[in-house]
Amino acid sequence: MDLNAMEENHRQKNRTCFILGASGETGKALLKEIVERNIFSKITLIGRRQLTFEDKTYENLVQKVVDFEKLDEYAEAFQGHDVGYCCLGTTKAKAGAEGFVRVDHDYVLKSAELAKAGGCSHFHLESSKGADKTSSFLYLKTKGQVEAEIEDLGFERFSIYRPAVLLVAREESRPAEWVAQKFLGAFSSVFPTMSISITAVARAMVINTLKDGGKKVEILENKAICNLGKIGDKK
């Protein structure tokens, strides 16, 4: 796979993209990969607040501040993008059960609807390993439901990423996740279905963007994400 040729081919198409959740860990890593690879003519960040960057390589970013409770009033922010990346997400512990569903289902689905109406052709969704709309667990059920409902919107291409435990040093405290990371991080190379680095997820999303002609709807489980992430490693 000639990655340099794929990147150059993508640049020639003069495509634009938006990122939802650029302040989160996956969103940060994804933005870094996209900016460094310079594969889009325009990058728009859509979020609830303006982000600040010290690095001048980020100075040409477009930022749209929206109220996720009134997204219909911000339809313009979702117009004119070829590719959309959704990395929105919270936890039940942080937001409560209702807050979790509001963010991970309601905000995500409404954003996808507006993106589709605005002309987005390829929508990427960061979901979770085990996502299943029939699950008895709220987290997995919510993730599975929003996957299915976005699929019904009929994007030209819809890519779903289901990473396992994300290996990342978060700014916020998630004790249970920290313990899991310490344990799984030591075995990540031996058992690639158990965990994955946040950078590998971001790389996989970018590399998959460059692969034209993919399936209309594709689900990438953790091992597939790991494999794509290795391709995107610039080291």
The set of catalytic residues is 139, 143
Spell out the residues 6+ positions from residue 67 whose beta carbon is closer than 8 angstroms to its own: 48, 73, 74
Q: What's the chain's length in residues?
A: 235
Q: Does residue 174 contact residue 190 with C-beta atoms inside 8 Å? A: no
CA 111 to chain centre: 13
Helix then strand then coil, % of the chain, to nearest 5: 45, 15, 35
For residue 48, the 8-state DSSP code is S
Number of Cα atoms under 13 Å in the Cβ half of residue 204: 27
For residue 14, the 8-state DSSP code is T
For residue 78, the 8-state DSSP code is G
Spell out the residues 6+ positions from residue 227 whose beta carbon is closer than 8 angstroms to its own: 204
How far lies 105's CA from each of 12, 37, 203, in Å? 35, 30, 24
How far is the C-alpha of 150 from the C-alpha of 161, rounded, in Å?
Answer: 13
